[in-house]
Structure 1
Amino acid sequence: MHSVAILVLDRVVPFDMAAPMQVFDWTRLPDGRRPYRVRLCAETPEVSADGGLTLRVDRGLEALADADTVIVPGRAEDAPPLSPAVLAALRRAAEAGTRIASVCVGAFVLAEAGLLDGLRATTHWVAAEKLASSFPLVEVQPDVLYVDNGQILTSAGAAAALDMCLHMIRRDLGSVVAANAARMSVMPLEREGGQAQFIVHEHPPVPRGSDLEPLLDWIEDNLAHEVTLAAMAARAGMSERTFSRRFREQTGTTPLQWLLRARIRRAQYLLENSDHTVERIGRQAGFGSPTAFRERFRKVVGTTPYAYRSAFHGRRTAPATGS
């Protein structure tokens, strides 16, 4: 039987812990036997969880030494610093060849232990920039569901952790057992780790009070039409070179990059809140052809317009400025 140890740290996020517990505990072999034994372990017998809960844990850090897989859930932002004992236990497990995986911001724990140095890793996209800046030796990939480096795995949010766990089950026991575990978890088996997280791109930054603000509002109102760099510069009363420099200084990006983000954001809003065809939405967002729309949408968002609509259609959102 494969032993799975879930490391419960102070201020753990309960759902991050429950997701892998569920999928491994519900896995069955064709003859009905359980292939995994799931155990909770912690440095202390009682651990506080996010939301005011207190968890009692039977096993200590010694459980990491005899586990085949160690899962590290995420912790709340106000969690206390990790103890040297926890970091040392994780390093010993890694040195022994134990498979170690993180859920969401649990990647910060692995990074602090030095287990992600020189490796690709992911976490929830909201925390990806902080992970990259805090641990420069880690190659952070913010737009995937999970990353499998062989021994060390990291996942994005808790839902992506289910994808990662199903991936590990498929590695261990094959697709038939993994497919059954997916059905028990009411999850699709076919999502791959490289599939992008569905990042909702915020409205392009508008420097409030700047002399460019009226121009940016005009761009938003004219996304369905051709908007060129020359037209933007002329409306701002500057040469293209001066305009491009001023624009980057005030927005942190180039005019054409800002325009692309505005078009993508408009398309996201329409895919979520309208029944227009994808081709019509591409035109409304200002893309020259359906092919250009699909290619650029996939490059920026990480999935196709059709898949994005399937995931988010009907969600209530605030309309983009100028829509």
Structure 2
Amino acid sequence: MSALSVAVIATHGFSPFHFSVPCIIFGQAMPEAGLFDLHICAEHPGVVHSDIGVSINVGEGLEALDSADIVVVPFWNHPESKPSEALLASLVAAWQRGADVVGLCLGTYVLAYAGLLDHRRAATHWEFERDFTRRFPAVHLDSNALYTHDDRLITSAGTAAGIDCCLYIVRKHYGSTLANRVARRMVTPPYREGGQAQYIERSVPETTRDNKINELLDYLRRNLDKSHDLDSLAGLVSMSRRTFTRHFIKATGVSVGEWLNAERLHRSQELLESTDHSVETVAELSGFQSPVSFRQRFRSRFDISPSEWRRAFRGTRTER
């Protein structure tokens, strides 16, 4: 399987932070070689100055876009100015050829100036919402989204949302396992999906300050597929039912039932993303009493069906 070619475009006045995000995620943060082939390019190769005086020497021109699978505009320092026709034409040609075209933060302006976002959903920094909608009334700006994906056009909100967006792209192509490994290397949350409620990370703690409860949590994670009741669990930690209930809520902030439900849903997500098990088998392995109750709880929590989750986060490629 060949590596995906990523072209990151440096423009004059670029933001070093925004520019470094795709370079790190598709480059240094990759846990293994051969997944992405990173190219830094500019309309005019040579020295390109940032908005804080830092400069980079770029060796490739816009011809790098001709064969790129993913094209990233990490920033645009001049929202009021239309980019050159050469840059806009190259972006349009890349998208028409089948590439993903990405605008991080104010890089969304460049995609909008190219006309690529007309009648499509997009995101950008919230401070520029009024300006953006005034300039591009045909674009459906989602001011609540961390990032959006509409017909191979991917845009993000400001600053740190670029990290979420690039991790989403890794996840889209190679699945959640690789994206999570990259996130761990960067010491950042694995995903904050597009501002949508169904994608919020689990809120239950993995460990507490109570060692007895920690041991019980480890036991429960190893036995999520089994049924549990308060009396048996209290016996495992040598407490009365009432004392155990009080200790558990104090340590975790939630009841035993709430904790188990959250962990079982999290386990089901992992199984949906990393195995070919049927939804019925996923429900059983995750500890739900029936596929029906599993589907109901999953949709209630994430506002999406288990099958839809699998299609969204399985990734079109598999990790090596």
Name 1:178's counterpart in structure 2: 179
Deviation per CA, 1:240-266: give whole Å up to 9, x if none: xxxxxxxxxxxxxxxxxxxxxxxxxxx
* Structure 2 residue matching 1:183: 3-state secondary structure: helix
For 1:10, give the aligned amino acid. H
Name 2:87's counterpart in structure 1: 86
Name 1:66's counterpart in structure 2: 67
For 1:55, give the aligned amino acid. I
TM superposition outliers: structure 1 runs of 4+ over 6 Å = none
Q: Does the Cα contact within 8 Å between 1:10 and 1:80 map onto a contact in 2?
A: no
Whole-angstrom CA distance in 2 between matches of 1:97 and 1:182: 27
Q: Which runs of 5+ in 1 are unaligned?
A: 197-323
* Structure 2 residue matching 1:153: 3-state secondary structure: strand
Q: What does residue range 1-323 of structure 1 map to in structure 2 within 5 Å?
A: 1-28=3-30, 32-45=32-45, 46-77=47-78, 81-195=82-196
Whole-angstrom CA distance in 1 between matches of 2:49 and 2:186: 27
* Structure 1 residue matching 2:190: 3-state secondary structure: coil
- Following TM superposition, by how much is the alpha carbon of 1:81 offset from its aligned partner in structure 2, in angstroms? 4.1
Whole-angstrom CA distance in 2 between matches of 1:77 and 1:66: 27
For 1:85, give the aligned amino acid. A
Q: Report the TM-score, using the length of structure 2 for normalisation.
A: 0.58
Root-mean-square deviation (CA, aligned residues, Å) is: 1.7
Whole-angstrom CA distance in 1 between matches of 2:10 and 2:33: 26
Deviation per CA, 1:151-208: give whole Å up to 9, x if none: 0000011211111111111111111111101111111113111249xxxxxxxxxxxx
For 1:98, give the aligned amino acid. A
- Following TM superposition, by how much is the alpha carbon of 1:19 offset from its aligned partner in structure 2, in angstroms? 0.9
Deviation per CA, 1:62-82: give whole Å up to 9, x if none: 000111000101122488641
Whole-angstrom CA distance in 2 between matches of 1:24 and 1:33: 10
For 1:106, give the aligned amino acid. G
* Structure 1 residue matching 2:13: 3-state secondary structure: coil
Judging changes above 3 Å, is the alpha-carbon distance between structure 1 residues 18 and 147 closer, same or farther for their aligned structure 2 residues? Answer: same
Whole-angstrom CA distance in 2 between matches of 1:191 and 1:78: 26
Deviation per CA, 1:274-294: give whole Å up to 9, x if none: xxxxxxxxxxxxxxxxxxxxx
Task: Percent identity, please.
Answer: 39
Whole-angstrom CA distance in 2 between matches of 1:157 and 1:62: 28
Whole-angstrom CA distance in 2 between matches of 1:86 and 1:77: 14
Judging changes above 3 Å, is the alpha-carbon distance between structure 1 residues 88 and 172 closer, same or farther for their aligned structure 2 residues? Answer: same
Deviation per CA, 1:205-246: give whole Å up to 9, x if none: xxxxxxxxxxxxxxxxxxxxxxxxxxxxxxxxxxxxxxxxxx
For 1:12, give the aligned amino acid. F
Whole-angstrom CA distance in 1 between matches of 2:74 and 2:30: 23
Whole-angstrom CA distance in 2 between matches of 1:36 and 1:89: 21
Q: Does the Cα contact within 8 Å between 1:10 and 1:79 map onto a contact in 2?
A: no
Q: Does the Cα contact within 8 Å between 1:27 and 1:178 map onto a contact in 2?
A: no
Q: Does the Cα contact within 8 Å between 1:5 and 1:71 map onto a contact in 2?
A: yes
Whole-angstrom CA distance in 1 between matches of 2:172 and 2:58: 29
- Following TM superposition, by how much is the alpha carbon of 1:49 offset from its aligned partner in structure 2, in angstroms? 1.3
Q: Does the Cα contact within 8 Å between 2:104 and 2:158 map onto a contact in 1?
A: yes
- Following TM superposition, by how much is the alpha carbon of 1:53 offset from its aligned partner in structure 2, in angstroms? 2.6
Whole-angstrom CA distance in 2 between matches of 1:152 and 1:165: 13
* Structure 2 residue matching 1:5: 3-state secondary structure: strand
Q: Does the Cα contact within 8 Å between 1:27 and 1:36 map onto a contact in 2?
A: no
For 2:67, give the aligned amino acid. D
Q: Does the Cα contact within 8 Å between 2:41 and 2:62 map onto a contact in 1?
A: yes
Q: Report the TM-score, using the length of structure 1 for normalisation.
A: 0.57
